[in-house]
Chain A
Amino acid sequence: MSDSSDKPNLSDRVAMPARTRVAVGGAREVTEAMFSSVDRAKKIRGTIIAGVLLLGLSVALIAVTAMVVWAFIAGWSRLSINLFTNVPSVVNPDNAGYRTAILGTLYIIGGVIVLIVPLGVGAAIYLEQFANPANRFNRFIDLNIQNLAGVPSIVFGILGLAFIVRGPLDLGFVAAAGSLTLALLVLPTVILASREALRAVPSSIRDGSLALGATVWQAVSRQVLPAALPGILTGVILAVSRAIGEAAPLLLVGAVTFVTFNPSFFEGGYSTLPTMIYSYASRPQESLQTLAAAGVVVMLVLLIMINSVAIYLRNRFERTW
């Protein structure tokens, strides 16, 4: 902290969790730096660091842009409404579409959202607002969730095959099994993001609510949760984006690469866009590879459509403190 300021630090006046204190401290430091004269060496160092960070960002952006541009160029000849309405065809790939796969993906992702939002947010609220962090059991759960977020997706596929498709749940190779498997896969992401969002809500909000006589649940549900909603929705967006692109675990729990009838949630074969794209991209026929590229565009459209709902909600609830 700079000594030049005459006002006392906010973090000294208000009780706040360590994380917030760091954030507040950082904000103060940056603002002060803008208005005070800094020596040359510090300035150069700052520029270098900013440059490195910008380079990192541009690498990521270039990769994404390259992929999208490639998909549009390679799949351009097939981009039409047929792609959305026609059923798959290997015999006549120039007229093939992704209808069954799009429906399959929507079923699966719909199921994932229905499962992960209540489960993920519920778990995050419990761990963040009710659970005692000093409790060994809670710390064990905490550690497990963080580790689960790093488990390769194929492992969840094997889990889904053993416990959801067969075993205790015995659902068979149906879309519901795919939904459950992917929900398990992305649940840690939602829990971690939701916890972070809940933690970022200034504790003064919660404390104030409690001081006015609200119960803990009232304080959480009416004050903390709405305030954390934008962050939670960001977590859901990330989770859904990951789930929609998964092919490997779905291949294990029964997603097929060729189905010409519309899927249903609890019976019959289903397909998803990533499994179809994965399959077509490695075929020898050029027309199928073009179809795969066009499929990437279809998937992007679908992803943007699903996420735009969440983005709209997030912007609606976003406010500054």
Chain B
Amino acid sequence: MTRTRGAAIAATTIAGALLLAACGGSSSSDSSSASSDLTGSILIDGSSTVGPATEIAAELFMAQNPGVAVTVAVSGTSGGFEKFCLGETDGNDASRLIKEEEIIKCDEAGITYDNITVANDALTVLVNAAAPVECLTVAQLNAIWGDGSTISTWGEIPDLDVPADFASTPLALYGPGTDSGTFDFFTEAINGEEGSIRIDYTSIGEDDNAAVTAVTGDVGAMGYVPFSFYQEAGDAVKGIAVDGGNGCAEPTAENVQDGSYSPLGRALYVYASGTALQKPETVAFFDFYINNSAQIAEIGGYIGLTPAQVTEQLAKVASLAGQ
């Protein structure tokens, strides 16, 4: 018990030190002395959407803590949870919340956990830059993508004003394959049920770049990709503003952070295990990840955490580590 308490105190101290370092606005090399005596290894597995952010966090963290070896694998959110709930990994990248059957597995193995939000993301509906459309409502998106939809030209989209010469342009739809967390989230948010979607769209599998390429080359094309792909996509495509009932909101960092980019704004998680958080290096890593979310988001094309989220997530880590 005293050991656990000691670890918790150490963790809080480190977290505090990191927070101070981060707030002080010092360059990253200055704060290296704060926790450079940490040693150990951390293994994170899971989603390929969150994995790149964790890789960046790991790299920045190891620059300051050379004694800690952080490795990141990407066997998918589900594949990662399977290992996580057997206690084989210290954390699991997840682009969705843990599912019922996974909760049961974790409980059976006695793994305690919590979902730590490490970044935000905007699922972005992409169209060609030349398409005369700026905003779509959730109802319109549902009419386009919903199960059984027969809309095949832009003119058929309900309540949408498009120039007469554009109305007959064929609507070419590109979406990720059914294994993708992006697919799960989009179908749930737009079509109301996970996995429910019209069957005649072009599946791009796991390669979101393919959607960008397709939309770049076709004025009538539409696809949806994670925010990072939209950011890197260039000027030939544009992200459609989405109206979830409170007016059109463009896919921007501000709109996601204040919640107005709804329902396609989402949080990206790393599930941390209570066992792993008994090790001070793991606590330090998670605190680092949360505190530096702005820098990590900048490098990886994600959207950083809001100050409120940072406080909230740090508290989650501290409480999981202290139990």
Contacts and interface: CB of A to CB of B under 8 A. Distances in A.
Nearest to B300: A90
A200 B60 CA distance: 58
B59 to A, nearest CB: 5
Given A90-B59, A258-B58, A284 B232 contact: yes
B75 A91 contact: no
Residue picked from A252, A258, A282, A289, most chain B C-beta under 10 Å: A258
B180 to A, nearest CB: 11
B254 interface: no
B51 A257 contact: yes
B74 A251 contact: yes
B216 interface: no
A259 interface: yes
Contacts, number: 81
Residue picked from B45, B55, B60, B206, most chain A C-beta under 10 Å: B55
Interface in B55-81: 55-56, 58-60, 62, 69-75, 79
A90 B71 contact: no
B52 interface: yes
Contacts of A269: 41, 43, 69, 71, 73
A285 interface: yes
B231 interface: yes
A256 interface: yes
A268 interface: yes
Contacts of A255: 73
B250 interface: no
Contacts of B260: none
B46 to A, nearest CB: 11
Interface in B65-100: 69-75, 79, 86, 88
A149 B192 CA distance: 44
B229 interface: yes
B299 interface: yes
Interface string A252-287: 101111111100000011000000000101111110
A146 to B, nearest CB: 30
Contact of A91 (B43, B70, B299): B299
Contact of B48 (A91, A261, A282): A282
Given A279-B48, A282-B207, A284-B232, A90 B74 contact: no
A285 B301 contact: yes
B231 A259 contact: no
A173 interface: yes
Contact of B75 (A252, A261, A286): A252
B319 interface: no
Contact of A282 (B55, B73, B206, B300): B206
A285 B207 CA distance: 13
A227 B105 CA distance: 56
A258 to B, nearest CB: 4
Nearest to A256: B73
A153 to B, nearest CB: 15
Contact of A268 (B41, B62, B88, B226): B41
A89 interface: yes
B83 to A, nearest CB: 8
Interface string B207-240: 1110000000000000000101101110000000
Contacts of A283: 52
A284 B209 contact: yes
A256 B71 contact: yes
Interface string A284-305: 1110010000000000000000
B52 A252 contact: no
Contacts of A251: 73-75, 79
B52 A90 contact: yes
B72 A256 contact: yes
Contacts of A281: 207
A257 B74 contact: yes
Contacts of B301: 284-285
Contacts of B41: 268-269
Contact of A257 (B69, B72, B208, B233): B72
B43 A286 contact: no
Given A257-B51, A284-B208, A90 B56 contact: yes
A251 B54 CA distance: 17
B59 A279 contact: no
Given A259-B71, A284-B228, 9 more contacts: A252-B79, A257-B51, A258-B55, A258-B59, A258-B72, A258-B73, A282-B206, A282-B209, A289-B209
29 contacts: A89-B59, A90-B52, A90-B299, A90-B300, A91-B60, A173-B43, A173-B88, A251-B75, A251-B79, A256-B43, A257-B55, A258-B51, A258-B55, A258-B71, A259-B69, A260-B69, A261-B69, A268-B41, A268-B69, A268-B71, A269-B41, A279-B74, A282-B206, A283-B52, A284-B209, A284-B229, A284-B231, A284-B232, A289-B209
